[in-house]
Amino acid sequence: MPLQSIIKRTLGIKRHGVKEIKEETEGMTVILENRKGWRLPCRHCGTLGKVRDRLKPRRWRHVPLWGISVTMVYAPARVRCPHCQKGDVEKIPWAQGKCHLTVGLIDVLARWAKWLAWEVVAKIFQVAWNTVATAVRQAVTYGLKHRELGSILCIGIDELSRKKGQVYITNVYDLEESRLIWSGEGRSRETLQVFFQEHGNALKDQVIGVGCDMWEPYMEMIREGFPQATLVLDKFHISFGIYCRRWIK
């Protein structure tokens, strides 16, 4: 299979193609273009519209091929949408918002980050630890947008640290399904407050238990956000999720 076909398949593109592949010291740079004369989808409603003009080229980091780092370069088009009656940037199939990673790389990093320490994932894929953190955040954001949170009963709150405890990430899990549902930088009351601002209303009437370490800023915020929930202080609070599941059954 030619390299162009592999790239197109991993990006999931039909209306775009590979214009040029440049071999550079730091890896491979792939210049993309849209097919001439083809209409492109509006990012608001998906209706196909004519290309009006172009923005400056943007760069996205993609999944490394055979250990070689791969960067995509493309000048996004602005399309005139016949439905919305306005001109805006096309819906780019490999991009998620303004993130500098392709959807393919976000997916790969976030999947591996479920099973391995994030610094190990970073080493395997030759990216910075922050890139793995960004991928996990993007995957969680996407997951939350497309997933029903209505069934969550027990959540776990935990922190990850790096650089000898100088940098923290707070993670919130659905304990029954063992899945990450939110991630934010820091481990303060304010960090967790963002979670409650985003999802507190949707979850406050249904969460019956919260497991976390004995960390006062978290505990304060949990008592405030989910006053009806039982707070379980347990370093290994994943067992709390198993307990909940048995209890409910």
Give the 3-state secondary structure of residue 96. Answer: coil
Among residues 47 and 188, whose Cβ is nearest to Zn ion?
47
Q: Which residues pair with 20 in a beta bridge?
A: 31
Instruction: Report the alpha-carbon distance of residue 5 to residue 89 in Å, rounded.
Output: 25
Which of 230, 88, 50 is closest to 156 using CA atoms? Answer: 230
Instruction: Fill in the amino acid letter for 78.
Output: R
**How many residues touch Zn ion (CB under 5 A)?**
7
CB 217 within 8 A of CB 204: no
- Beta carbons within 8 Å of 230's beta carbon, 6+ residues apart: 208, 209, 210
- Beta carbons within 8 Å of 13's beta carbon, 6+ residues apart: 32, 93, 94
> At closest approach, how far in Å is the CB of 49 from Zn ion?
7
Among the listed residues 9, 14, 22, 44, the single contact to Zn ion using CB under 5 A: 44
> At closest approach, how far in Å is the CB of 79 from Zn ion?
8
Letters for 2-41 (x = contact with Zn ion by CB under 5 A, - = none) are ----------------------------------------
Enumerate residues 177-206 that contact Zn ion by CB under 5 A. none
> At closest approach, how far in Å is the CB of 236 from Zn ion?
49
Among residues 45 and 214, whose Cβ is nearest to Zn ion?
45
Enumerate residues 57-116 that contact Zn ion by CB under 5 A. 81, 83-84
Among the listed residues 6, 45, 120, 248, the single contact to Zn ion using CB under 5 A: 45
Task: Kindly give the pairing relationship between strand 48-54 and strand 77-81.
Answer: antiparallel
Give the 3-state secondary structure of residue 83. Answer: coil
Among residues 42 and 172, whose Cβ is nearest to Zn ion?
42
Interaction of residue 42 with Zn ion, rule CB under 5 A: yes
Residues at the contact surface with Zn ion, assessed by CB under 5 A: 42, 44-45, 47, 81, 83-84
